[in-house]
Amino acid sequence: MQVDEATVRRIARLARIKITDAEAKSLEGELSGILDWVKQLDEVDTANVEPMTRVVPIELKQRADKVTDGEIADQVTANAPMTEDHFFVVPKVVE
Amino acid sequence: MTDLTKLTLAEARDGLAKKTFSATDLTRAHLDAIEAANSALNAFVLPTPDHALAQAAESDRRIAKGEARPLEGLPLGHKDLFCTKGIRTTACSRILDDFKPPYESTVGQNLWDAGAVMLGKLNNDEFAMGSSNETSAFGPVISPWRRNGKDGNPSTDKLVPGGSSGGSSAAVSAGLCLAATATDTGGSIRQPAALTGTVGIKPTYGRCSRWGIVAFASSLDQAGPIAKTVRDAAMMLKVMASHDAKDTTSVDAPVPDYEAALTKGVKGLRVGVPKEYRVPGMSKEIEDLWQKGIDWLKAQGATIHEISLPHTKYALPAYYIVAPAECSSNLARYDGVRYGLRVPGKDVTDTYENTRAAGFGKEVRRRILIGTYVLSAGYYDAYYLKAQKVRTLIKRDFDLAWDKVDVVLTPTTPSPAFAFGEKSGDPIAMYLEDIFTVTVNMAGLPGISVPGGLSSEGTPLGLQLIAKPFDEETLFRAGQAIETAAGRFDAGAAWWTGAAGARSQQAGAKAGKSGGKS
């Protein structure tokens, strides 16, 4: 068992997902099962292997540092659950 | 008039060119089919009939003026993972709520610019995470296919259409659209195609732009079509693929005429058969199907070579580190602030946590948590870095194989379609659905699934072909050779058509049983 309930709660907090006590319990088993299963990768010798960074060898594209888009605040905020004058509204974060 | 929903994309194109019917006729026939079928199959989460008929009317004007574009007037289904301007896009997640994108995905725009008609948005597993379409917030899609029953009638067990592109595969297979868009991160085009007797191709990473597609795992995601035939898939991919400055991983290379490749045949083509894909416990019928595929290609002039891809068995566990890691990062954007659902809390963090708990389904939450864990401090090297190194080895296996062969032939799935609930209790059992498809995503290669035959249960099985990067033409050549030999498969009489279906259920059921080669 690699993941205990405290760890489940810690990662749920990191992931910003609220979980119930019952969920924490069942996730403990599910996550441990998956992590035990992926541990079979330890059988592979990767001592002198570079990690993959791209599947297709392409040059990273560059473009001129120019504004290509913008002035669309209406569109940017159109789908927000709460807005005011083109600002996103969230609960107070500074006392 | 013949049933327009039975036509292939290519036949419909020819019929429009000859003015046998209009784009409006063709679109109406499919809209009627969707209306009759959707309560039973749940393939579409948002039919867009007015939008479709307006596009069809424009197509008819163009055809009349002799200005038809490559897919003029051809009605398609569009996976709900693609952003559609002004039309609700949800990735079949509650968290996107009533999101209406202010822009169109590049793949979608390419299709509409080529004259295609959008019938509506198709169901899929939530954020494309699943192999059975059971994780959709809109409920599962039911496959039009049924197993043989004991009494000579088809079984009434509801079968999965595969996933994540289950709406796409079911809709194409049931004749609700001529072809559909789909996406594939670990097998989400090829596995549903295999389970529904349709053709699905995941092109090389970089072939299609990812711009405007809801992101799941960005180093693996690719768009591609699900279609009735290999030719139809070639027509679709030709239009979907393009270079796009808005996606830095999109490749600036010309898109070949894939249809032209179909007639090239397989004479002299070197076909590799990887011994590691003979997994322990593989069923006899999958082995037999594979052997049939080998025999068909050989009979048409290809040569067969056993090859070794030694890291095959590590592809799936490596995938279940890389994909959740990228998913946890991509899905961090859903915070209830800028779009989608918001569930208020006592402060901003509480709002995030409430929103994400209510908005994400169980499988998505599970993958975000796994991803968060493997990327967290102290675990990154042990999991993510290790998986990316294994990925290098998986790709190297293929690089070495390409010295000996031009294309690789494997089964697409380890088993035929399963019924709902049969695999949903155990995440790893579900993950194993992708055992033959996921290596292709890990190595960024193109892969196609073509129907190869029917299982002992009377349901479809697929054969997968894998090629070198950007060599989709070879997939279409070899795929055509298999289709020519195997024939096409359809789900039989429409048991799924609403009231009419209920009336003729008995008769339809009987005919459905023979649902087979056509």
Domain with A32 in it: what CATH number? 1.10.20
In-domain check, residue B342: no
Q: Which of residues 485-514 of B touch A (CB under 8 A)?
A: none
Query: pLDDT-based confidence at B11, cuts 50/70/90?
Result: very high
Q: Do A3 and B328 touch (CB under 8 A)?
A: no
**Which of A3, A10, A13, A16 is the mutation pick for testing B, counting most B CBs within 10 A?**
A16
Tell me the average pLDDT of chain A: 92
Q: Between chain A and chain B, how many beta carbons pairs sit less than 8 Å apart?
A: 161
What's the distance, CA B320 to chain centroid?
19
Task: Return the SS3 of B483.
Answer: helix
The predicted model gives B305-320 an average pLDDT of 97
Q: Does A48 touch chain B (CB under 8 A)?
A: no
pLDDT at site A60: 80
In-domain check, residue B119: yes
pLDDT at site B172: 98
Lowest mean pLDDT among B46-55, B413-422, B436-445: B413-422
Contacts of B335 in chain A (CB under 8 A): 16
d(CA B147, CA B458): 5
Q: Does A17 touch chain B (CB under 8 A)?
A: yes
pLDDT at site B513: 33
The predicted model gives B415-423 an average pLDDT of 89
The domain total for chain B is 1
Please check the confidence at residue B66 and state whether its pLDDT lies above 70. Answer: yes
Q: Does A34 touch chain B (CB under 8 A)?
A: yes
At B128, which CATH number? Answer: 3.90.1300.10
Which pTM does this prediction carry? 0.95
Instruction: Give per-residue pLDDT as tens, B154-173.
Output: 999 999 999 999 999 999 99
- Show the tokens assigned to B509: 């059921």
pLDDT at site B195: 98
Own/partner long-range contacts of B331-337 (Cβ < 8 Å, ≥24 apart): B331/B127, B331/B360, B331/B364, B331/B368, B332/A16, B334/B95, B334/B96, B334/B359, B334/B360, B335/A16, B336/A81, B337/A80, B337/A81, B337/A88, B337/A90
Contacts of B205 in chain A (CB under 8 A): 55-56
Tell me the average pLDDT of chain B: 94
> Catalytic residue positions of B?
79, 164, 188
Lowest mean pLDDT among A38-42, A64-68, B429-433, B512-516: B512-516
- Comparing CA positions, the residue from B301, B278, B280, B300 lying closest to residue B289 is B278
In-domain check, residue B356: no
Q: Do A17 and B389 touch (CB under 8 A)?
A: no
pLDDT at site B424: 73
pLDDT at site A55: 85
Lowest mean pLDDT among B199-203, B373-377, B446-450: B373-377
Q: Do B372 and A92 touch (CB under 8 A)?
A: no
In-domain check, residue B322: no
How near does any CA of chain A get to the CA of B70, in Å?
29
In-domain check, residue B364: no
The predicted model gives B467-483 an average pLDDT of 98
pLDDT at site B1: 56
In-domain check, residue A90: no
For residue A18, give its domain range: 5-43
For residue B57, give its domain range: 4-313+389-511
pLDDT at site A93: 85
In-domain check, residue A71: no
pLDDT at site B176: 98
In-domain check, residue B348: no
Q: Does B151 touch chain A (CB under 8 A)?
A: no
pLDDT at site B44: 98
Contacts of B312 in chain A (CB under 8 A): none
Percentage of chain B exceeding pLDDT 70: 96
DSSP helix, strand, coil percent of chain A (3-state; round to 5): 40, 5, 55
The predicted model gives B174-188 an average pLDDT of 98
d(CA B191, CA B435): 10
pLDDT at site B499: 52
In-domain check, residue B349: no
Q: Does B352 touch chain A (CB under 8 A)?
A: yes
pLDDT at site B421: 81
ipTM of this complex prediction, to 2 decimal places: 0.96
Contacts of A58 in chain B (CB under 8 A): 206, 249, 251
Percentage of chain B exceeding pLDDT 90: 90
Among A40, A63, A79, beta carbon nearest to B99: A79
Contacts of B356 in chain A (CB under 8 A): 15-18
8 Å CB contact between B411 and B286: yes
For B388, how many CA atoms within 13 A lie in the half-sphere containing its CB? 17
In-domain check, residue A32: yes
Among B337, B373, B392, beta carbon nearest to A52: B392
In-domain check, residue A19: yes
pLDDT at site B518: 43
Percentage of chain A exceeding pLDDT 70: 99
pLDDT at site B473: 98
pLDDT at site B104: 98
What's the distance, CA B418 to chain centroid?
17
Instruction: Give per-residue pLDDT as tens, B101-153.
Output: 999 999 999 999 999 999 999 999 999 999 999 999 999 999 999 999 988 88
In-domain check, residue A23: yes
Q: Do B390 and A46 touch (CB under 8 A)?
A: yes
In-domain check, residue B61: yes
Q: Which of residues 95-114 of B touch A (CB under 8 A)?
A: 98-100, 102
- Show the tokens assigned to B184: 């594939």
The domain total for chain A is 1
**Which of A5, A48, A55 is the mutation pick for testing B, counting most B CBs within 10 A?**
A55
Q: CA dist A42 to A47, B382, B407, B434, Å?
A: 11, 9, 30, 21
Type and span of the H or E element at B78: strand B75-79
